[in-house]
Amino acid sequence: MLTIAGRKFRSRLFGGTGKFSSPEVMKEALAASGCEMVTVALRRVDLDNPDDDIMRVLDRDRYLFLPNTSGARDAGEAIRLAKLARASGGGEWLKLEVTPDPRTLLPDPIETLKATEELVKEGFKVLPYINADPILALRLQDVGAVAVMPLGSPIGTNQGVLTRFQIEIIIAQAQVPVIVDAGLGAPSHVAEAMEMGADAVLVNTAIAVAGDPVRMARAFAMAVEAGRIAYEAGLGAVSKDAAPSSPDDGLGFLR
């Protein structure tokens, strides 16, 4: 079973709560995904819609909240968002995102490391969203990150695991859980990440924007499980040369 910072998770699929067409669809899709941890963001209250409150539909007993610091462009903004999340009753868990470039939404490694150090001292359980950089993953682990969240491809792009080579190294080296996050656009993508030995994956866009988000959530859950079982079962070695699956012997009658 997956354990992060002493907490056990039966499901290795974590869900996002953005981009759904309605709160009801989100609720049903999250239920179908079987996930136990969901990300949420922090934004200004829309004073014209005081009742527009996601907390009305999300069951806190069912889901562990993982507030993110999306929108932060540097460590200072991320720390401010983290403190607001904690004051909002978000708990100590935090997906740290520092993305200064709105075009790529790629994370700033230096600000992410600075913010992680500070937030760990403040008592947060920090899960930093990072580019798939094995050295950075180790540095974050050293300063107390409880997991690392390397990206498969940029946020919201559905391009899958473009960072395979680096993620393999991160998985081989990290002592903390590795959660592949961002860009996982199809069940086959999460199966690939799980077959590689990722401890978990986080999916938001691909489920939220699907034609049928509830069925897609189910498909992702199945793919995560299949990929994990395949990893534990041990995949066969990859080879350039063909090797017959049927016996070479016993063909004398043909010639």
Partner 1 sequence: MKVFCNGEAQEIAPGTRVAEYLSQLGLDASSVVVECDGKILTREEYGSHALQDGSVLELIRFVGGG
Rounded distance, CA 20 to CA 117, Å? 33
> Segment contacting partner 1 (CB under 8 A): 12-20, 133-141, 169-177, 217-225?
12-20
Query: Binding of partner 1 at residue 232 (CB under 8 A)?
Result: no
At 230, give phi and psi (nearest 5°). Answer: -60, -40
Shortest CB 72 distance to partner 1, Å: 12
Q: Which two tokens stand for residue 222?
A: 């199945």
Check if the beta carbon of residue 67 is closer than 8 Å to that of residue 90: yes
Q: DSSP assignment, residue 198?
A: -
> Segment contacting partner 1 (CB under 8 A): 35-43, 120-128, 146-154, 223-231?
35-43
* CB closer to partner 1, 9 vs 63: 63
Query: Binding of partner 1 at residue 73 (CB under 8 A)?
Result: no
Check if the beta carbon of residue 61 is closer than 8 Å to that of residue 19: no
CA angle 195, 98, 103 (to 5 degrees): 85
Check if the beta carbon of residue 14 is closer than 8 Å to that of residue 34: no
Q: What's the gap between Cα 111 and its chain centre? A: 20
Check if the beta carbon of residue 89 is closer than 8 Å to that of residue 102: no
Q: Which of 55, 110, 135, 172 binds partner 1 (CB under 8 A)?
A: 55
Q: Which of 5, 11, 19, 74 binds partner 1 (CB under 8 A)?
A: 19
Query: Binding of partner 1 at residue 43 (CB under 8 A)?
Result: yes
Fill in the per-residue mask, 79 to 98: x = in contact with partner 1 (CB under 8 A), - = not in contact. Answer: ----xxx-xxxx--------
Handedness of CA 93, 99, 103, 106 (dihedral sign): negative
Query: Binding of partner 1 at residue 64 (CB under 8 A)?
Result: no
Shortest CB 156 distance to partner 1, Å: 8
Query: Binding of partner 1 at residue 116 (CB under 8 A)?
Result: no
Rounded distance, CA 129 to CA 126, Å? 10
Q: How many residues bind partner 1 (CB under 8 A)?
A: 36
Shortest CB 128 distance to partner 1, Å: 15
Residues within the interface to partner 1 (CB under 8 A): 16-20, 26, 39-45, 47, 50-51, 53-55, 65, 67-68, 70, 83-85, 87-90, 155-156, 182, 202, 204-205
